Amino acid sequence: MAIAAVTIAAAVCYIVVHKWSKPQPQPPAVVVQPAVQEDVEVYGEYVGHVRAQQFVEVHARVEGYLENMLFEEGTYVEKGQTLFVINRGQYKAKADRAAAQLKKDEAQEQQSKRQLDRIRPLYEQNAASRLDLDNAIAAYETAKAAVAMSKADLAQAELELGYTTVRSPLSGHISERHVDVGTLVGPGNKSLLATIVKSDTVLVDFSMTSLDYLKSKERNVDLGQKDTSRSWQPNVTITLADNTIYPHKGLVDFAEPQVDPRTGTFSVRAALPNPKRELLPGQFTKVKLLLDVREKATVVPQRAIIIEKGGAYIFVMRRDSTVEKRFIELGPEITNSTVVERGLNPGELVVTEGYHKLTPGMKVMPVQQNATDDAVAKKEEE
């Protein structure tokens, strides 16, 4: 009996000691990251259409046979450069005739002036009648009017003669010719000779929604108007057809003052330099527009945010390593981060991984951000 009593007492002690020596459950391991404060750039993405800064059609302004073409198609031409020559024979003859008529009328004017100068003193001496004086004055005024008309006719004839030499109205790249040498061109016939495109600077047109407009107004951003009080301007970056980023940025220089009721959008235009002609008028491209810069915004990783019917919330770790369920107001998303408008202060520790098993007030074991997912999973299993 004594041996049995000792055995039972030993078993009871073993059970008690084993029970109290059993390890307590560890707090769940979570990855935490401090909320940071930084300047956040907010962009909008749209589909844009490239067009030339200037696009001019070259027309023949007088009728005649095309005699010569003095350029190579598709090349760069300078402003004022001679492009085409139209037969000038009839216009030269018309100008010569107008010049001869002017000389004739000027001679008639001089004769009428001399006649008036003779009649006037005779009339003052009562040696000529009033009728003679009036006739002399009328003849002189008629001669002066004829001279004025002849000058106008000569100017018109010389202008038409000048139109036989077709010059480039601007500097740019010229298209292929639309007519061949020897063709009768001009009003009533084929007047379009070529087109010239000035594309060292291009314009990119795209459409924005009225919601974008309202958001920009909330931030006091007037698209199309340069505001020197801001440290930034609404610049534009575009993506080329091979998905590379075009190296030059542009600025929005115009925004349509009204919304198209059919689409609910309004047109916006940006100007971009195009020194190497990488952008061709007529092509479509992706446009990325800087809409706003949120200075000193509170930012957290997107993976830390839980969204439910009641709103968006995150788990914030307190100083005593317990977590708090915090509802927040979300702002714009940037890459893998989100701006928090309200509900969080910079520097507070936010749970970014392992929050799916948490409840408010639970104590946790924080793990550095650079810890591996395997380490976090191992802690959770324990």
Name residue, tokens 């962009």: 43
Q: What is the pLDDT of residue 69?
A: 94
- Residue 375's pLDDT band, with cuts at 50, 70 and 90, is very low
Distances from the Cα of 381 to the Cαs of 28, 177, 354, in angstroms? 9, 78, 12
Instruction: Look at residue 13 and tell me if it is in a domain.
Output: no
Half-sphere exposure of 157 (CA within 13 A, CB side): 20
- Residue 295's pLDDT band, with cuts at 50, 70 and 90, is confident
More confident residue, 234 or 5: 234
Same domain, yes or no: 206 and 270: yes
Instruction: Look at residue 235 and tell me if it is in a domain.
Output: yes
CATH number for the domain harbouring residue 171: 2.40.50.100
Same domain, yes or no: 131 and 217: no
Same domain, yes or no: 65 and 170: yes
Q: Residues 47, 182: contact at Cβ < 8 Å?
A: no
Same domain, yes or no: 358 and 372: yes
Q: Is this structure's pTM higher than 0.75? A: no
* 3 state SS of 264: coil
Q: What is the pLDDT of residue 215?
A: 73
Same domain, yes or no: 203 and 288: yes
Instruction: Look at residue 264 and tell me if it is in a domain.
Output: yes
Question: pLDDT tens for residues 131-148?
Answer: 999 999 999 999 999 999
Same domain, yes or no: 221 and 325: no
More confident residue, 219 or 71: 71
Question: In percent, how much of the chain has pLDDT > 90?
Answer: 57
Q: Please tell me the total count of domains within the chain.
A: 4
Instruction: Look at residue 18 and tell me if it is in a domain.
Output: no
Same domain, yes or no: 72 and 180: yes
State yes or no: pLDDT of 214 exceeds 80.
no
Same domain, yes or no: 157 and 170: no
- CA–CA distance, 310 with 308 (Å, rounded to integer): 5
CATH number for the domain harbouring residue 130: 1.10.287
Domain extent for 346: 29-38+296-381
Instruction: Look at residue 9 and tell me if it is in a domain.
Output: no
CA 98 from chain center: how many Å? 52
Instruction: Look at residue 179 and tell me if it is in a domain.
Output: yes
